[in-house]
A and B are shown apart, each in its own frame.
Chain A
């Protein structure tokens, strides 16, 4: 079974697929990220379904993305020859779409023999609806293999002759040097379907897709350290964005375990408001103004249905999400059952999300945006809600239902919500509103955090008021301007967190109970730590050291999962994870700022 880090992502801003190092597409949901899966082999290699293209003989495998793109190339070197498989989902500009018919969705796999001769096998084994429905494949000869799933049609076109089996279809072909085999898998729910031709049109499609991605990645205005890793993170983040609505999902997958063999398996194919502010900052910081504005617009649009209350997560169009349901017929990744779809945390009472949304809007204003009357009213409504509710216990950023607590981070984000609203009022962006109430509650929240969030015995900020447990989320405290990274309290907290939550340099568990529950260290916390140092919590050299210590935990393509197993270094949890890549980008942005400041100082 492949490891989580053995996967690569390809996509088109509507959905994405995971391609294994061994050439198998083991995760694909069509037509959206949260649609039922067509391939879910990553969750059960026998039942889930996959689409594998690989040499029959053992091969040495190397892979890479074509520079500045999300076009994947996997090179299989066997003792008889070498093939390169290029996997991508076509992406074009609207202008290019004008001139030719395009399928609604498509995955292209091009196999080129570049040396000697290689016998390859293609196994197409779709299992629709999370492998709950039977796949009846029909061979329509020149029109390709057809699979009807309700109103949807999947077609696979190729020049290779397939043999239909009881489950799936199978083909074998020997490719000689300079020979190419193209395969095109398309989806449609609208007839007539577009059946793309193979050969030269695929070459053109590939060229256009490479151009599109390179044009997009060349828009990055970031010129600081770790530029290559930052661009890869931006490209990964882009693949988790849903272009039609402007939002980002937390991760591509469901139920990849935070602890192998454990039950910490959740569906992340939704949009968490808690990720908002960091994501907006990363996008603006890289110069992706359009994406940042679209995301803020989605934030404001999606939250309208529940005003003034916010819910923890929404789907890609801002709709409510179903409660989680278990899929007992799937064994789960390395037997990590249950596999869940849907997510029940939407009903949780989580206070930090108000601060996240308002901070996201504040980033927009800092970048020159303005707020219309309706948005101003909405933001004030959030502020009033925070003033009425911040004294209540909640589930906290890590969504812990039992028991509800007065989480320090939740109070911090309530403080952020009011602080940013006051700032927006002072900037003239919230008109005709008195800010006295916001000022008073902001003062009260600060007082509470300073008195109850600080444990004088431990000499540390704690996870919850009057508590003794530590939490790595406290690294984020200076990022919001609540307490400086050089303050005595933050420095002491840093030491305590390093002592109790760090199993290896620059790796951090989320909190103490998460260690007992067997989960790995949290990727984002590592980047928060690096950013904390970069913002003054340590020397520039220490910040670089931390960043460099985290980078090797990415896979060979630069992709991060949610968590890292500190013992093996393996990726854990859903993959790839937007929050971790956002953390990388923000840490790099802070490092660049620090370098700039120090360079100025030395001049």
Chain B
């Protein structure tokens, strides 16, 4: 296990993932702004939420990348395509399980059953985050596959 490799690649691959998701928003593929969504767990202020959200997204990325690294170590193989497969699984998990569960854990997110309240005003994501745009799943999957490819493609290089 190469800890410095994990720290570096985990950070870089999360930056790339965040950039791809932001670019998808800029290009009109999705409205979903992950840092804003995460940051509003802590503050209602839009600008501050985005800053806090970026920080937490990077922490999340690091944590998730550790799971990738452990997988590479267990199977003693790390290639871009294996990383890509793990990224696809990760992306599907995020879309099918992680994001739909948000109304249950996000203190400011409304639910479809109860509608918005004074505290919970954020639109719930719906199945596969489709409320944030019909192409949201595509951008999420692409971003996570790229995330995995970077980790898989470069991890063993860092072991020297």
Task: Give residues in A with beta carbon < 8 Å to B.
Answer: 97-102, 140-143, 148, 150-153, 155, 157, 188-197, 200-201
A–B complex contacts, Cβ < 8 Å, 11 sampled? A97-B46, A101-B40, A142-B112, A143-B112, A143-B115, A151-B25, A151-B30, A189-B31, A190-B33, A195-B116, A195-B121
Knowing A98-B44, A143-B124, the reply to whether A191 touches B114 (Cβ < 8 A) is: no
Q: Are A195 and B123 in contact (CB under 8 A)?
A: yes
A-B contact count (CB 8 A): 91
B153 interface residue per 8 A CB criterion? no
CB distance from B136 to the nearest CB of A (A): 8
CB distance from A199 to the nearest CB of B (A): 9
Q: Are B133 and A193 in contact (CB under 8 A)?
A: no
Closest to A194 in B: B121
Q: Which residues of B contact A151 (CB under 8 A)?
A: 25, 28-31, 133
- Other A-B contacts than A101-B46, A196-B121, 8 sampled, CB-CB below 8 A, are A97-B45, A101-B108, A148-B134, A191-B36, A191-B125, A192-B132, A194-B123, A196-B116
Contact of B110 among A97, A189, A195 (CB under 8 A): A195
User: In whole angstroms, what is the CA distance A150 to B29 when docked?
Assistant: 8
Contact of B122 among A153, A157, A192, A201 (CB under 8 A): A192
User: In whole angstroms, what is the CA distance A143 to B46 when docked?
Assistant: 21
CB distance from A63 to the nearest CB of B (A): 30
User: In whole angstroms, what is the CA distance A194 to B125 when docked?
Assistant: 12
Contact of A197 among B44, B116, B123, B131 (CB under 8 A): B116
Please provide the chain B residues from 115 to 142 with a CB less than 8 Å away from any CB of chain A in the complex: 115-118, 121-125, 131-134, 136
CB distance from A105 to the nearest CB of B (A): 12
CB distance from B63 to the nearest CB of A (A): 23
CB distance from B18 to the nearest CB of A (A): 15
Report the interface size for chain B: residues with CB under 8 A from the other chain: 33
Annotate B92-117 by CB proximity to A: 1 below 8 A, 0 otherwise.
00000000000000001110111111
Closest to A195 in B: B116
Q: Are B109 and A192 in contact (CB under 8 A)?
A: yes
Closest to B37 in A: A192
Q: Are A153 and B44 in contact (CB under 8 A)?
A: no
CB distance from B108 to the nearest CB of A (A): 6
Q: Which residues of B contact A101 (CB under 8 A)?
A: 40, 44, 46, 108, 121-122
Closest to A188 in B: B31
User: In whole angstroms, what is the CA distance A400 to B132 when docked?
Assistant: 48
Q: Which residues of B contact A99 (CB under 8 A)?
A: 44
Q: Are A100 and B44 in contact (CB under 8 A)?
A: yes
Closest to B102 in A: A192
Contact of A157 among B36, B114, B116, B117 (CB under 8 A): B116
User: In whole angstroms, what is the CA distance A200 to B136 when docked?
Assistant: 34
User: In whole angstroms, what is the CA distance A191 to B32 when docked?
Assistant: 4
Q: Are B118 and A102 in contact (CB under 8 A)?
A: no
